[in-house]
Amino acid sequence: MTIFVTGGAGFIGSALVRQLVAAGDSVVTIDKLTYAGNLENLSGLDATGRHRFVQADICDVDAMRGLFAEHRPDIVYHLAAESHVDRSIDDPLAFVRTNVLGTAALLTAALDHWRGLPKGNGFRFLHVSTDEVYGELDATGLFSEASPYQPNSPYSSSKASSDHLARAWHRTYGLPVMVSNCSNNYGPYQYPEKLIPVVALNALEGKALPIYGKGENVRDWIHVDDHAAGLRAIMARGRLGETYLVGSRSERTNIDLVRQICRILDELQPAAQPYESLITHVTDRPGHDARYAIDPTKAETELGWRPRHSLEDGLRETIAWYIANRDWCARAGERSRIGLGHAA
């Protein structure tokens, strides 16, 4: 069994690759290594003999065709994307290029490969996406697989477009595709521009913890390892052509989440003042969605998948990882483009 993981040098992709290789699978990671891709996230895996890294751009359809022909994968997890909302507001075309055109190029190469396989080959393609494609919720209600698409940012609209392309390649060409939409992820190796690493690292340096607006926006948090396990469950037991929502019923307002991180930091790395004193409110992000929250019942009942981490335990483990790996964070890159209130 050969598995392709696109975007496997990023935050979620590398968590997935680590799980797959640990489970004994052979993985080819395909990643362009943008600012968000980091080979350190995959360190030690090549030595197992079950992992290969290929630097390539998913927008390059000929390169993708070449990789399918060379490695003949049995399944594909597609995670490569531009992933940060604030960057999408500044440079939307980069998001359209990778998330829309890149997904179309990858689907095209996968289709050519699948058409050359014998009948009953079992090939599967999982397109990994976000709950932000559904827009925002008011104080009540949950996103489900039946929610209408109403993306509000350049990031979420480019991901919504890619979801439609994936479904169209299934309906039009019969490509064995599934789609997953997940809530906000947290955990080790998250690029230090997203809410949780920014708050943890700024706090440790005694810097301000800027919160968009009043901090009342609600996000639904899931540990990255639970998401990766959910993706593996969809690949193993999901029905072709279906969408699965992945979430762990862990809603928090941004201000409550930041206070929770500060409390954990007060315990793990006490400072002269409580970390909460560093919280600073800044002008809100344009078009900032009020609330996201997922109903994961379909994934839980059909796939038998359940998240293992409570938010408190997962956050504690994650903050401890950032404290122990500040050198990784420094090497991972610039933190000048701080995105707050949001993690996808």
Which residues contribute to the site for ligand NAD (CB under 6 A)?
A: 6-7, 9-13, 31-34, 36-37, 57-59, 79-83, 98, 102, 128-130, 159, 182, 184-185, 191, 343-344
Taking only Cα atoms into account, the Rg of the chain, rounded to an integer number of angstroms, comes to 19
Question: Active site residue: 82, 86, 132, 136, which one?
Answer: 132
Q: DSSP character for 54? A: E
**154-173 vs 103-115: helix crossing angle, rounded to 10:** 20
Question: Active site residue: 25, 86, 131, 220, which one?
Answer: 131
- Our CB check for ligand NAD shows the closer of 130 and 254 to be 130
Return the closest-CA partner of residue 108 out of 131, 133, 70, 78: 78
Distances (CA, A) of 148 to 12, 132, 160, 299: 25, 11, 11, 18
Shortest distance (Å) from residue 217 CB to ligand NAD: 14
Cα 127 from chain centre:
11
- Our CB check for ligand NAD shows the closer of 41 and 275 to be 41
Shortest distance (Å) from residue 267 CB to ligand NAD: 25
- Our CB check for ligand NAD shows the closer of 12 and 204 to be 12
Q: Is 129 helix (H, G, I), strand (E, B) or coil?
A: strand
Contact 249, 226 (CB under 8 A): no
**What is the distance between the alpha carbons of residues 344 and 341, in angstroms, rounded to a whole number?**
10
- Our CB check for ligand NAD shows the closer of 233 and 278 to be 233
Q: DSSP character for 276? A: G
Verify whether residue 131 is a known catalytic residue.
Answer: yes
Q: Which residue is nearest to ligand NAD (CB)?
A: 10
Q: How many CA atoms lie within 13 A of 250 on its CB side?
A: 24
Shortest distance (Å) from residue 38 CB to ligand NAD: 7
Residues in the chain: 344
- Our CB check for ligand NAD shows the closer of 130 and 278 to be 130
**What is the distance between the alpha carbons of residues 113 and 266, in angstroms, rounded to a whole number?**
53
Shortest distance (Å) from residue 85 CB to ligand NAD: 10
Burial of 140 (0-12, 13-18, 19+ CB in 10 A): exposed
- Our CB check for ligand NAD shows the closer of 113 and 227 to be 227
Q: Is 194 helix (H, G, I), strand (E, B) or coil?
A: coil
Return the closest-CA partner of residue 332 out of 196, 191, 185, 188: 191
Shortest distance (Å) from residue 311 CB to ligand NAD: 14
Verify whether residue 25 is a known catalytic residue.
Answer: no
Shortest distance (Å) from residue 185 CB to ligand NAD: 4
| Residues noted as catalytic | 131-132, 155
